[in-house]
Structure 1
Amino acid sequence: MTDPSGRAPRIAVVFYSATGNVAALAEALAEGAREAGAETRVRPVAERAPREAIEANRRWKAWVDDNPYDTLASLDDLEWADGLALGSPTRFGNSAEQLKAFLDTTGGLWAQGKLAGLVGTSFTSASTGHGGLEATILSMNNVLYHWGALVMPLGYAADPSLMSSGNPYGASWVSRKSAAPDDGALQAARVQGTRLAQVAAKLIT
């Protein structure tokens, strides 16, 4: 999908992932956006946790040591984008500090009004069913509100399969026993990416 001038919508997926689950959702979301004709950038934020904390968790250490991403998120990615997806694991009902630290650097862009034209959406993962999935998505959306961006929920109407996912706020995954996202969670993320691209295309001026 393109705007009347022929430019494809630009979607940035900015996320923090400790063990790879949020990264898998990020990639699925970007896949959905590309299927809708968008250009995409998938960018993790920097790891900021002390090495001793990482070393104490086998899966966290494995992800940090074998992280497949070469390029970290930057403010340039936000200026480039028409649509933005934010992703983070839950941290006591909030986004992870690593993502928050990146978002806290956006004050200059906010002051210039450069983020007000974005359409944004959020996604998450937790290890328990009541681990703060919706609260974490809402915490990320709070940043979008302050930017003046338009907030796009996943909703249920975009695809019949979403009725079984149980989360209209955004794609989410409950990783019991460290399980990777299943097909249903990945499909919800793809639908979210497709919808984000479609909405962003309509807002391009």
Structure 2
Amino acid sequence: MSVNLAIIYYSSTGTVHSLAEAAAEGAEKAGAEVRLRKAAETAPAEAIGARPEWARHLEETARVAEAVHDDLTWADAVLFGTPTRFGNPAGQLRAFIDSTGPLWFRGGLADKVYSAFTASNTAHGGQESTLLALANTFYHWGGIIVPPGYTDPVQFRTGNPYGTSHVTADGSPGEDVLQAARHQARRVVETAARLKAGRAAV
């Protein structure tokens, strides 16, 4: 059964964007229709301009559409991606999530499959707490949380059962991390397909 997957992410310098693209690739190979969407940039121009890689990434991803509530309504499953900010999701992604109150109030976010991925500058930079913080939102939405767990050998090499994560100090995401993102997306799509088929059979 066909699944609609929205991948909604924020990335300042490109790491999380790379993970989002890998997730989209994995989801499409699993048969999903994918919307890749970014959270709107809210940082002041002077902050962006102070980091050439940030300004460059913003320009390079100008073609990526910004997330809107319709992306959540359309989706059977949603993957959120964010860098960690002091152990929490980035403010840009939170701003989008915090705008969804009316949709939540109408029950429009319930019974969908949710999962998340992240990156931090250091190995102990709050990756797991960031993913758990996003899960708190999914609980409130009445979502069905699907983590990668240790359901593929790549998870034993990347080491995060909560969601794909990467340490940016190690450089760009390597093949193991990208494969973990593909696996996580595939698992989300396959779970959402089973749920959708089961509901259709009732």
Q: For the superposition of Structure 1 and Structure 2, which TM-score range results when normalised by the shorter chain?
A: over 0.9
Decide which of 136, 159, 181 is 1:189's aligned counterpart: 181
Q: State the superposition RMSD in angstroms.
A: 1.0
> Match for 1:164 among 157, 171, 174?
157
Task: State yes or no: 1:22 paired with 2:12.
Answer: no
CA distance in 1, matches of 2:95, 2:176: 30
Tell me if 1:54 matches 2:48.
yes
> Aligned runs of 1:141-180 on 2, under 5 Å?
141-157=135-151, 159-176=152-169, 179-180=171-172
Hey, what does 2:192 align to over in structure 1?
A: 200
**Equivalent-residue separation in structure 2 for 1:189 and 1:65 (angstroms):** 24
Counterpart amino acid of residue 73 in structure 1:
A
1:83 to 66, 77, 86: 77
TM-score of the two chains, using structure 1 as the length reference:
0.93
Residue ranges of structure 2 left out of the alignment (5+ in a row): none
Q: Secondary structure at the match of 1:90?
A: strand
Instruction: Look up the match of 1:10.
Output: 4
> Structure 1 residue 50: deviation in Å?
0.3
Q: How many residues align?
A: 197
Q: How far has the Cα of 1:65 moved from its partner? A: 2.3
Contact persistence 1:43–1:69 (CA under 8 A): no
Matched residue SS, 1:88: strand
Contact 2:87–2:126 under 8 Å retained in 1: yes
8 Å Cα contact 2:36-2:64 kept in structure 1: no
Alpha-carbon separation, structure 2, partners of 1:130 and 1:70: 30
1:5: which partner in 2? none
Structure 1 CA distance for aligned equivalents of residues 64 and 53 of structure 2: 20
Determine the C-alpha separation between the residues in 2 that align with 1:75 and 1:28: 23
User: Tell me, what secondary structure is at the counterpart of 2:85?
Assistant: coil
Structure with more of its chain in helix, by fraction = 2
The one of 94, 105, 119 aligned to 2:99: 105
Identity percentage of aligned residues: 48
After TM superposition, the runs of 4+ consecutive aligned structure 1 residues lying more than 2 A away are none
Structure 1's unaligned 5+ residue stretches are 3-7
Aligned to 1:116: 110
